[in-house]
Structure 1
Amino acid sequence: MAEHVPLREYQPTGPTRLSAAERDALLAASVTVTPVSGTTDLYEVRPGSTVGVVRVRDRQFDIAPKIGIQRLLNLLTYSIRDEFWGDELAEYGRDADLLEVVAAAYALRLERTLERGVVRGYRHRAERGVAIRGRIDMAAQVRREFGRMLPINIAYDDHTIDIDPNRILLAAVLRLRSLRLRTDRTRRRLLMALDRLDGVTAVRYDPRRLPRVSSTRLDHHYRPALAMAALILSNSSVEAGTPVGSADAILFNMNEVFEDFIVGALREQLALDSRTFPQGDTRLTLDEGARVGLEPDLSWIQAGRPIFVGDVKYKRLTAAGYKHPDLYQVHAYARAAGLPSTLLVYAAGEAESAIYRVVRGGPEIEVVVIDLNRDLEGLAREMARIASRVRQHAERGRAALNLVSTSPPTTTTPVAS
């Protein structure tokens, strides 16, 4: 059984004994590891914004988020509003093992999904045989067989469960099972899922290149499970900077989690797509020679130009010699876009709500704060409030750029129940 070492986001530990492999795995997970003077294997360990689990052989480092695991799950799964696991996960306390909670949530959602049946789809096949199925691939027959009648090159569409959505679900199951989960109920559910997905090809996906799967009427009920599977696969890694096979991890960068949540929730509230409301748009430059590119987290594009720009900060930036780098950053965005105002969104505890009017006719900078220590209903209300501020900034931007409004009438987005 693995030894568990509890850590918490941004909180340092006392002297902790680490092997070289453990030290390297933690460093690869963006954890600050400082040698204790006069020792060879004692270190002070301080996690940064990355939370999750790092396992090195029989030792597991559990990095807990400061907002608590249930609140983290709310951010990760906000867009799918999946509350199936609410009662199921109530038994896990604030300091629970993040891996066990994520695995339990996925196993439960997958069980409910597959109870409705394993979705089938068509996959194109090209084979050689002695019987005709589908159609004869005449080009392949001529190219490969040089006039022989057998074998026959055939091509057909196979109606099968071996399709990308099921492959993704299976890959997440296999990933979690490789991490030696402790909860019996979760292990049983994952084992049952393996049985239901028998016949699906096991694919080891690159976390950075998961296939995009579009939802249809027939597999719409797959959407929550696929979203969770993608979270597991895109945030997991093997090796973690140590010798092959000696370490693995499931990690979430809270800066990215927070930004993805804010962008996704604002798109939903504003009824905009990713082209109109891109994340990290790169069309702005600071200088006329376009040598210094700018990349605001938030942009609202109309007629090919931004009518609103803003930024998202989970953690207040600090830079040597600069007292307010976040304000300087959004100020540059607004000036480059020619906009009269901009918005800076912080997680609660990092700043106070405020409005700064830059001297000599510079842009107005509004700072808003969102409290992440809320349930899904509370988060929806918070995002509705911030979306209303974005609309007002966008209207000011349109007026400044002499653009006509194309926004639909403002409506209230239903709050998750």
Structure 2
Amino acid sequence: MSAANGSVVELVEHAPGTSVPLPDAVGRAIAASRIVDAAPDAYAPGRWVLRAGSKVGAVRVDVPDSAPVTVRITPKVPVARLFFLLGYSLDPRGWRDGEVEVAEHRDLLPALAHAVERQVDRALKPGLLQGYLATEDSSLVVRGRVREAEQIRRRFGAALPVEIAYDEFTTDIAENRILRAAVDRLLRLPGVPRDVRRRLLHQRSRLVGVTPLVRGQELPAWHPTRLNSRYHQALHLARAVLDGSSAEHTAGGLRVDGFLFNMNKLFEDFVTLALREEFRGGDHLVRLQDSHHLDEAARIRMKPDLVVYGSGGRTPRAVVDAKYKAEKRDGYPDADLYQMLAYCTALGLPRGHLVYAKGNAPHTAHRVRYAGIFIHQHALDLDQRPPLLLNDIRAIARQVIVGPCV
């Protein structure tokens, strides 16, 4: 499909490849960016076959002497469900379904831009948050404390100006800088609707006195407190925008600018954090991405997504790995079973659990010959209301500890 500022290619996450007409330079650029799988169409010169994987969102590819091409990748999960997974992963105990407003937008980027703008508006409506910012300066008036070492090094004994350090009460704090960075980022992305862009410009005007972040600069740290509680959801969404902007880069005249979610990571984060919440306050200790070794020489490292330990935190009780894959007619990939068998063997566990995004049955199990190890495969249906999805997580948590009937 063509657009005023170039062409637009519409893809669906993990769908079969689509043949589209593209200049070779653009096709090679898309292939090099690794946003989607791209290869020349063997049966049609001048066309490329594009296939989306687990990354969803929108990116624009600019190549010298060619019209820009925007690639939009639609998630299989409804946008409202995706935002629940995202919100829960960002803040499992503070997020409630329905707090993210996506309006009528069905595409990911417009929905995200709308949601961020609404949350920023809600956060800023009472006025910009203020806080103390540590400041170092040269001044003719003593304020705060004198930086004696700097005074000697820079002024060679002169009395004025004075090198001082003080805490300034200002709106130019980490929370406001992060919100401004997210708003600025969204205003640069392709595919933000005009009405949402207009509202984002209004939010940026509210933040005009806040120092903008330089591209590539590390985000300032912030910590949730009672004083900044009205900012929490806006900051979580802003961080998602800024973390998902990794597709932006330039190399050899090529520019790729956009926003992408990695559904593999999003699903893994949701499953592991939701399971950790189920075990919170109980007799078990949960560690995510805990490092272990397969061999006695400790040369082969492995990092299961989640390991449950006994109350002492030393003895493994269960191991879980999340896989964002749907079961096909011939079953799940065998490689997942081999990986889980290695985890169970190295950790000395009789059972291991694999959690998938969707399957033909909610649960199946395999007993390994001569080892007596059971490998359980659980399937989560993400296209259901959040309370039902969390109920399924709760059921998996019970099976992880008690053990399902096989």
- Give me the TM-score of the superposition, normalised by structure 1: 0.84
Which residue of structure 1 aligns with residue 344 of structure 2?
A: 334
Which residue of structure 2 aligns with residue 81 of structure 1?
A: 96
Which residue of structure 2 aligns with residue 235 of structure 1?
A: 244
**Mapped partners of 2:32, 2:314: distance in 1:** 42
The Cα shift of 1:380 comes to 2.0
List aligned pairs for 1:46-195, cutoff 5 A. Answer: 46-57=51-62, 58-78=68-88, 79=92, 80-81=95-96, 83-86=98-101, 89-92=102-105, 96-195=106-205
**Mapped partners of 1:29, 1:251: distance in 2:** 12
1:286 partnered with 2:286: no
Q: In 2, are the aligned partners of 1:104 and 1:186 still within 8 Å (CA)?
A: yes
The Cα shift of 1:316 comes to 6.0
Q: How has the CA–CA distance of structure 1 residues 67 and 217 changed in structure 2, closer, same or farther, with 3 Å as cutoff?
A: same
Q: How has the CA–CA distance of structure 1 residues 160 and 181 changed in structure 2, closer, same or farther, with 3 Å as cutoff?
A: farther
Q: Tell me the alpha carbon deviations over residues 34-82 of structure 1, each in whole angstroms, 9 at most, x when there is no partner.
A: 2122655311111111111111244311100112222222211123225
Q: In 1, are the aligned partners of 2:306 and 2:319 still within 8 Å (CA)?
A: yes
The Cα shift of 1:285 comes to 1.3
The Cα shift of 1:117 comes to 2.8
Which residue of structure 1 aligns with residue 269 of structure 2?
A: 260
1:9 partnered with 2:13: yes
Q: In 2, are the aligned partners of 1:12 and 1:44 still within 8 Å (CA)?
A: no
**Mapped partners of 1:332, 1:112: distance in 2:** 49
Unaligned regions of 5+ residues in structure 2, if any? Answer: 63-67
1:34 partnered with 2:44: no
The Cα shift of 1:305 comes to 4.1
Q: How has the CA–CA distance of structure 1 residues 163 and 267 changed in structure 2, closer, same or farther, with 3 Å as cutoff?
A: same
The Cα shift of 1:360 comes to 2.8
Q: Tell me the alpha carbon deviations over residues 14-45 of structure 1, each in whole angstroms, 9 at most, x when there is no partner.
A: 42122323542354244111212265531111
Unaligned regions of 5+ residues in structure 1, if any? Answer: 395-417
Q: How has the CA–CA distance of structure 1 residues 26 and 264 changed in structure 2, closer, same or farther, with 3 Å as cutoff?
A: farther
**Mapped partners of 1:269, 1:206: distance in 2:** 37
1:21 partnered with 2:31: no
The Cα shift of 1:145 comes to 1.0
Q: In 1, are the aligned partners of 2:123 and 2:231 still within 8 Å (CA)?
A: yes
Q: How has the CA–CA distance of structure 1 residues 85 and 202 changed in structure 2, closer, same or farther, with 3 Å as cutoff?
A: same
The Cα shift of 1:90 comes to 4.2
Q: Tell me the alpha carbon deviations over residues 57-112 of structure 1, each in whole angstroms, 9 at most, x when there is no partner.
A: 443111001122222222111232252344xx3422xxx33211111111111111
Which residue of structure 2 aligns with residue 401 of structure 1?
A: none
Question: % of aligned pairs identical?
Answer: 38
Q: In 2, are the aligned partners of 1:51 and 1:64 still within 8 Å (CA)?
A: yes
Counterpart residue identity of residue 13, structure 2? E
List aligned pairs for 1:397-412, cutoff 5 A. Answer: none
The Cα shift of 1:348 comes to 1.1
Q: How has the CA–CA distance of structure 1 residues 307 and 129 changed in structure 2, closer, same or farther, with 3 Å as cutoff?
A: same
Superposition RMSD on alpha carbons, in Å? 2.7
Q: In 2, are the aligned partners of 1:126 and 1:153 still within 8 Å (CA)?
A: yes
Moved more, 216-225 or 237-246: 237-246
Q: How has the CA–CA distance of structure 1 residues 280 and 386 changed in structure 2, closer, same or farther, with 3 Å as cutoff?
A: same
The Cα shift of 1:237 comes to 2.9
SS at match of 1:266: helix
SS at match of 2:246: strand
Q: In 2, are the aligned partners of 1:138 and 1:153 still within 8 Å (CA)?
A: yes
The Cα shift of 1:256 comes to 0.7
Moved more, 40-49 or 244-253: 244-253
SS at match of 2:288: coil
**Mapped partners of 2:327, 2:364: distance in 1:** 17
SS at match of 1:368: strand
Which residue of structure 1 aligns with residue 65 of structure 2?
A: none
1:297 partnered with 2:311: no
Q: How has the CA–CA distance of structure 1 residues 67 and 180 changed in structure 2, closer, same or farther, with 3 Å as cutoff?
A: closer
- Count of residues in Structure 1 that have an aligned counterpart in Structure 2: 383
1:249 partnered with 2:258: yes
**Mapped partners of 2:296, 2:192: distance in 1:** 58
Q: In 2, are the aligned partners of 1:126 and 1:156 still within 8 Å (CA)?
A: yes
Q: In 2, are the aligned partners of 1:309 and 1:342 still within 8 Å (CA)?
A: yes
SS at match of 2:159: coil
State which of 298, 304, 325 in structure 2 corresponds to 1:315. 325
**Mapped partners of 1:240, 1:178: distance in 2:** 13
SS at match of 2:287: coil
Q: Tell me the alpha carbon deviations over residues 214-233 of structure 1, each in whole angstroms, 9 at most, x when there is no partner.
A: 10110122111111111111
